A and B are shown apart, each in its own frame.
Chain A
Amino acid sequence: MNWLVKTFSSSIGKKLMMAVTGLCFIGFLMVHLAGNLTVTAGGEVFNAYAAKLHSLGAPLLVMEFVLLALAVVHVITGLYLFYRNVMARPQRYAVNRNAGGRTLGSATMPYTGVVILAFLVIHLTNFTFVDKTGTTIFQIVSNAFQNPVTVLFYTLVMVVVALHVSHGLWSALQTIGANHPKYMPVVMAASLIFAVVVGIGFGFLPIYFSLIA
């Protein structure tokens, strides 16, 4: 098994872990967004969706632990790569200029990542690890978004998530070797479109909750 450890601990192996875990989160984001958007059909539909999800029982618990494991790998590997990359140029340039490859998304990956991590902790304490007896999830979420500061915070963080995936999606495909001259322009466009969908989709939810509640 030595070869397996060696392959994953190489620079490309670490990137591969970032890419695969990142792509799983992108899948999660799609499902999560679709689920949350049920609220546009009304609070009861949203509650019914949540109830259905939780009635899954054990499989849901397994999925949650898988997500947690993926997050641990993504965060630890990401922070370690960031540290190594800073160390790879101990003496910085006096003048830094972009030659046209870097984007706002690509240049901010570690920072947007840390913001997402902090958000996740707050988000889970807000809506997951709360006492749900005698109330509904729709009630909990609507109450939270009565506070304009919470609405603003959630919406801003969703823009940060959009920035992270605007680079993340195409970058992950490049990392797993899926670069083809015919498809790359489509992949780049899809990354941008996905980022906009995530930004607007999730960003609109807190505002929607605060309006209908």
Chain B
Amino acid sequence: MTQTINLTLKVWRQGGPGVKGRLDTYHAENISTDMSFLEMLDVVNESLTLDGKEPIAFDYDCREGICGQCGAVVNGRAHGPEKGTTLCQLHMRHFSNGDILVIEPFRARAFRVVKDLVVDRSPLDRIIQAGGYISVNAGGAPDANAAPVPQETAELAMDAAACIGCGACVASCPNASAMLFVGAKVSHLTLLPQGKPEAARRALSMVDTMDTLGFGNCSNERECEAECPKEISITNIARLNREFMKAGFFSNAR
């Protein structure tokens, strides 16, 4: 049997970048507990539209937890209160009838609010452009297993590669630091033989870009690890620190 619940929402409404915003109150009624959080917002938006009001702007794409496009802070928790879950995969059965939900955009100096809950996360793309790639000349595909990779190393690289670039680590960090994201990206490439040749330049350039974009400094609060929907570990931040030190003090890269 499908259950329904009624909720009070306090949603951040902001007309555009740089303009003043505020929390507005809405009532979400007869919400099926089988719905996802975004479907609940769809229902609210439908009634807003029918009333001739501006619907709440929020970001999404896949709605299956793999693209990293969705995200908001619900009652102080990025992607809501469930561990290892994106906002689109968060189901309303985790809430109770009568709950009051404060919904805010991901907040950081580096993430400009575009509208309501939509933020501009292109600074993360700028960090990727600074070094989150490998350079190879295209040609015939190399033999499989030409470059052997130990199973454990492949697993570590795959775990880091699970990062979907959602920015929840930045949103949940008390310092708005992007170190978990950068740690994941650097680890994912640097652990594998294809990523090794550019490892030093990558570490220096990605950290430098991260710093200039206005992200905060990591102080090992571990909130990112607790909130990351892909449960990326802070061992990746320690690896980034090692890679950065190796590159800064012992490599020829500058």
Interface string of B194-227 (1 = CB under 8 A from A): 0000000000000110110011111111111111
Shortest Cβ distance from B242 into chain A, in angstroms?
A: 4
How far, in whole Å, are A170 and B238 apart by their CA atoms in the complex? 12
Q: Which of B46-54, B86-94, B126-134, B244-252 contacts A (4 or more CB under 8 A)?
A: B244-252
Contact B216 A85 (CB under 8 A): yes
Among B77, B216, B237, point to the contact of A89 (Cβ < 8 A).
B216
Q: B221 to A12, Cβ gap below 8 A? A: no
Question: Do B175 and A85 touch across chains, with their CB atoms under 8 A apart?
Answer: yes
Contact, CB under 8 Å: A7 / B224: no
- B153 interfacial by beta-carbon distance below 8 Å: no
Pairwise interchain contact B238-A88, C-beta atoms closer than 8 A: no
| Pair A89/B176 contact, Cβ less than 8 Å | yes
Identify the interface centre among A10, A12, A14, A184: most chain B CB within 10 Å of its CB: A12
Report the interface size class on chain A: 35 or more
What's the least CB distance linking A133 to chain B, in Å? 46
Which chain B residue shows the least CB distance to A85? B175
Asked if B23 CB lies within 8 Å of chain A CBs, one says yes
Q: Residues of B within 8 Å of A, CB-based: how many?
A: 51
Indicate whether A92 reaches chain B with its CB closer than 8 angstroms: yes
Interface stretch of the complex, out of B37-45, B104-112, B139-147: B104-112
Bound state CA distance, A167 and B76, in angstroms? 23
B248 close to A84 (CB less than 8 A): no
| Bound CA span A94–B24, Å | 12
A93–B211 CB distance below 8 A: no
A19 to B, closest residue via Cβ: B241
Interface of B is mostly: mixed
Is residue B157 contacting chain A, with contact meaning CB distance below 8 A?
A: no
Contact between B174 and A102 (Cβ–Cβ < 8 Å)? yes
State whether A11 touches B210 (Cβ < 8 A).
Answer: yes
Residues of B within 8 A of A99 (CB): 77-78, 172, 223, 226-227
List residues of A (128-180) whose CB comes within 8 Å of B's CBs: 167, 170-171, 174-180
Assess whether B63 is interfacial by the CB under 8 Å rule.
no
Tell me the complex Cα distance, A158–B115, Å: 48
C-alpha gap A96/B23 in the complex (Å): 15
Question: Would you list which residues of chain A between 1 and 31 have a CB under 8 Å from chain B?
Answer: 2-3, 6-7, 10-16
- The residues of A that contact B25 with a CB separation of less than 8 Å are none
Q: How far is the CA of A177 from the CA of B186 in the complex (A)?
A: 14
Binary contact readout A95-133 vs B (1 if CB under 8 angstroms, 0 otherwise):
111111110001101000000000000000000000000
Interface residues of A (CB under 8 A from B): 2-3, 6-7, 10-16, 81, 84-85, 87-102, 106-107, 109, 167, 170-171, 174-181, 184
A-B contact pairs, 20 of them (CB 8 A): A2-B254, A10-B208, A11-B210, A12-B244, A81-B217, A84-B216, A85-B216, A88-B110, A89-B109, A93-B76, A93-B104, A94-B23, A99-B77, A100-B226, A174-B234, A174-B241, A175-B241, A176-B241, A179-B234, A179-B238
Task: List 9 additional A-B contacts (Cβ < 8 Å) besides A94-B23, A94-B104.
Answer: A3-B254, A10-B211, A11-B218, A13-B248, A88-B214, A99-B172, A101-B221, A167-B220, A178-B238
| B residues whose Cβ falls under 8 Å from a Cβ of A | 10, 12, 23, 73, 75-78, 102, 104, 107-110, 172, 174-177, 179, 207-208, 210-211, 214-227, 234-235, 237-242, 244-245, 248-249, 254
